[in-house]
Amino acid sequence: MQHRPLGRTGVSVSKLCLGAMMFGDWGTKDHDESIKIIHRALDAGINFVDTADVYSAGESEEIVGKALAGRRDDIILATKAHMPMGEDANHRGNSRRWIIREVEDSLRRLGTDWIDLYQIHRWDPAVDLDETLGALTDLVRAGKVRYIGHSTFPASTIVEAQWTAERRGRERFVTEQPPYSILVRNIENEVLPVCQRYGMGVIPWGPLAGGWLSGRYSKGGDRTGPASAARQRLVNRFDLSLPENQRKLEAVEQLGQLADEAGITLIQLAIAFVLRHPAVTAPIIGPRTMDHLESQLTAADVVLSDDVLDRIDEIVPPGITLNPSENGWISPSLQPAARRR
C-alpha cells in the first residue's frame, strides 16, 4: 500500500488508516476476531491505527494493544482523549488534570511506552487552549507522546491553536481528524483549506457516512436504524423519517448508479472520493467484520476520474452536508441560551 506524509512531521503513513472504534463492546465483542482483523489490515500494508479511550470504555485500546504486541515499532499508533470516561465531572475534557491522568491510562491499556499521535477528541470552548497545549507539550517533552492532533475542531479554533502554540512556545497540533464523506462535505469550505495552509495532516473519519455509503441504507429497504451500539447514540443521522435523511437516500441511489457505471462498488467510490482531495492524508476505515475490511481495502487502489468527480459534485455539491447534524461540530453560539437575552 502506498504511503503519504503525515503533514510536515516527516512520518509516512499508509493511505488508509485503520479505525478501532468497532473493536470491543460497541461492535465486535470477540477479542480474537478483532485481533485477526487488525492483523489482516497490517499484513495488507496499513501501518496507521487510530483508536480512542472512550471506544467501548477503553476496551478498544486494550484490543489494539494486544494486536500490536511484537509489531509496535512498525506502527503509527494514534489515540484520543476528551470524552467522558465515567460519571465524575473531572473524568473528561481538555484540562491538564485530565489529560495527564488519561494518557497514563491509555499507555497502560495499549501496552506501550509511547503514543505516536495523541489527539484531543473535541474542542471545549470552556477550556483555555493554552491549558491544553501546555499539558500536551509536557507529554511530548517527557517522551510519552510524539505528536499531537485534534478531531472535529472548527476552522477558527484550528487557527487560534496554531497562533497560541507560536506565541506561548508550545508544541503545535499537526493533524486534524474531521468527519468527511460524499454526504458530509462541510469541511471543504474552511477546515480543509486551513489545514493545507498550516501544513497539517488530515485523517477524515466516516468516509462511508456511518454505513450510508456501504449500501446498508436504500430506498425501499427495511432497515430503520443503526446496527451498532456506537451508532445507536446518533439516531438522528439514521432516522429515515427525517427529510434530511430522505435526501441522503436519494443521493445514495444516484451514487450507486454512478459507481455501477464506473465499474466499481459504492464503497470504493466513497473512500476513493475522500482519498482524492489534496488536503487528505489517510481516511479512517472502521470495519466491524473481516468482510467489511476486505471490501474497504480495495478502495486504496481506485483513482476517480475528473468526470466521475464532476458527477459526484452534481449529486452533492461541494461544501454541502445533506444532514447538518453530521458535521460533527455545531457552534454553541447557535443554542437557544446563547441567542436569548
Q: Catalytic: 180?
A: no
- Residue 20 forms part of a structural domain: yes
- Residue 34 forms part of a structural domain: yes
pLDDT tens digits for 168-214? Answer: 999 999 999 999 999 999 999 999 999 999 999 999 999 999 999 99
Total tally of structural domains belonging to the chain: 1
Global confidence as pTM: 0.94
pLDDT score at 235: 55
* 167 Cβ contact partners less than 8 Å away, ≥ 6 residues apart: none
The yes-or-no verdict on residue 336 having pLDDT over 70 is yes
pLDDT score at 224: 56
- Residue 197 forms part of a structural domain: yes
The yes-or-no verdict on residue 1 having pLDDT over 80 is yes
- Residue 338 forms part of a structural domain: no
Helix (H) or strand (E) holding 63: helix 59-67
Catalytic residue among 55, 118, 147, 180: 55
pLDDT tens digits for 259-295? Answer: 999 999 999 999 999 999 999 999 999 999 999 999 9
- Residue 341 forms part of a structural domain: no
pLDDT score at 202: 98
CB 177 within 8 A of CB 150: yes
- Residue 201 forms part of a structural domain: yes
- Residue 340 forms part of a structural domain: no
- Residue 337 forms part of a structural domain: no
CATH number at residue 104: 3.20.20.100
* Full domain range(s) for residue 187: 3-332
